[in-house]
Amino acid sequence: MEVKFHDIGEGMTEGEILNYFVKIGDEVSVDQPLVEMQTDKMVAEIPSPVAGKVTAIHFETGETITVGTTIIEISDGESKPESKPEKKAVKTNSVTETTSNVFVPTKRINHVKAAPFTRKIARELEVDIEQIVGTGPNGRVTEEDVYHFSKGSNASSTIQEKLPAEKKQETEPDLIPFKGIRKQIANNLSFSVRTIPHVTHFEEIDVTKLSQYRKELKGLGENISIVAFFLKALAISLGEHPIFNAELDEEKSVIRQHKIANIGLATDTKSGLLVPVLNNVNGKSLRTIHAEMKQLTEKAQVGKLSAQEMQNGTFTISNVGPLGGVAATPIINHPQTAIMAFHKTKRIPVVMEKDEIVIRDMMNISLSFDHRIADGADSVRFTNRFVELIEDPKKLIMELI
């Protein structure tokens, strides 16, 4: 049984092998995790489809492979392989083919570490990638190494030889691999900016009453995050202004207005920006919204989100307030129509009725929207309704009854 790297996410074409949970000779059961893969969007485990013994592992950790590639072979003890003439051990690049439980990179031609795209460049330049000494992490051959080699010099040899040891660290930049989640973020945002005419509307909100209400709830044993209130107010506002809960289908010349608010939660992680989706915010209580939002963001932080948990979003929020910042122009998560960012809350003096100056908790929000679908007046009406619900929690609670 060949265990292949199958498509585990939308538009995925390749992934990096992070970790093996088994080695050659191990007995495995059905659905037992075999290997951990890093794709453009997530970290995922590939389970065993059968029970049996691991007979071959074709790649090392750190290597990038394409969808459809066989990673591991498992013998289930039922099918018998065709008898083949016994082969003598052949020494290739210091790896000897024997029957011992040692990793043997079968079905591979190139033994250097390099991404598929780097190998493609080498083929186009008619360069033997086996002759290149990699300068990337763990000796990986980079695109720059290939270009240097094609011009008659290898960055790992000529540059290192010419520079004094004490100068190497000063002159050589740190190289960060541009791949995986970081590359997918770049592709998505670049496409969004090129495709969507962005307009950003700014507004300030007085969250004093909401902060006080949350303190009262906490005294009663109900600890509900302020973002849970934001999400519920957004779901109500989107229901009344569905043009912001929509997407444009240019091919069919229609705008699809969704009836359910599936709100994406832009989450800052060590791997980059991930956007898990909280589905059907309309039909959920504040307690449920708080619990599910916390669960999704925690899974995002540890790289355990599934592809399904990042799909079907209709609107996105970005809560950058805990980090600081007064205002921003967030980029829309295509093909959605809008994204709202919440910024830092500050206690500042505010002029109230009768020119009374009081200290209030004020917060700025940014709403970026697709000007092909909505106009500025629409965005003002939409944010006004959201502000009304947040500034007076009683009105928000009345909408839930």
Q: How does pLDDT run across 340-361, given as a tens digit for each residue? A: 999 999 999 999 988 999 999 9
40 plus 124 within the same structural domain: no
Residue 274, token pair as written in the block: 């991930």
pLDDT confidence of 160, banded at 50, 70, 90? very low
Beta partners for 96?
91
Residue 170 has what pLDDT? 61
Mean pLDDT, all residues of the chain:
84
* CATH number (domain holding residue 74): 2.40.50.100
Residues annotated as catalytic are 371
Q: Do residues 233 and 158 share a domain?
A: no
Check if the beta carbon of residue 331 is closer than 8 Å to that of residue 188.
Answer: no
CA distance 314 to 245: 6
155 lies in the same domain as 210? no
Whole-number pLDDT of residue 109: 40
Contacts of 391 (CB under 8 A, 6+ apart): 205, 206, 207, 209, 210
pTM, two decimals, is 0.66
Kindly give the interhelix angle for 286-301 and 226-240, rounded to the nearest 10 degrees: 110
Domains in the chain, number: 3
C-alpha 311/C-alpha 305 separation (Å) is 11
Same domain flag for 125 and 251: no
Q: What's the pLDDT tens digit per position in 277-334? A: 999 999 999 999 999 999 999 999 988 888 889 999 999 999 998 888 899 999 999 9
* Lowest mean per-residue pLDDT among 38-47, 235-244, 289-298, 335-344: 38-47
Question: 263 and 323 share a domain?
Answer: yes
Please report the pLDDT score of residue 142 as a whole number: 83
Residue 105 lies in a domain: no
Residue 190 lies inside a defined structural domain of this protein: no
217, 345: one domain: yes
pLDDT at 18 over 70: yes
Cα–chain center distance at 238: 25
Confidence at 104, pLDDT banded by 50, 70, 90: very low
Residue that is last in its domain, among 42, 65, 96: 96
Give helix 143-150 / helix 116-124 axis angle, nearest 10°: 10
Both 161 and 212 in one domain: the answer is no
> Which residue range(s) make up the domain with 339?
199-400
Residues 66 and 9 in one domain: yes
Q: Which of 339, 278, 333 is nearest to 305 (CA)?
A: 278
Q: Binning pLDDT at 50, 70 and 90, where does residue 86 land?
A: very low
Which of 79-83, 137-141, 301-305 has the highest mean predicted lDDT (pLDDT)? 301-305
Cβ 366 vs Cβ 330: under 8 Å: yes
* Percent of the chain residues topping a pLDDT of 90: 55
Q: Which two tokens stand for residue 294?
A: 């916390």
Which has the minimum average pLDDT: 69-73, 89-93, 141-145, 161-165? 89-93
Last residue of a domain, one of 66, 96, 126: 96
Whether 300 is in a domain gets the answer yes
How far is 337 from 319, CA to CA, in rounded Å?
18
Q: Does 38 share its domain with 165?
A: no
What's the CA gap between 27 and 245, in Å, rounded? 50
Both 242 and 334 in one domain: the answer is: yes
Same domain, 7 and 77: yes
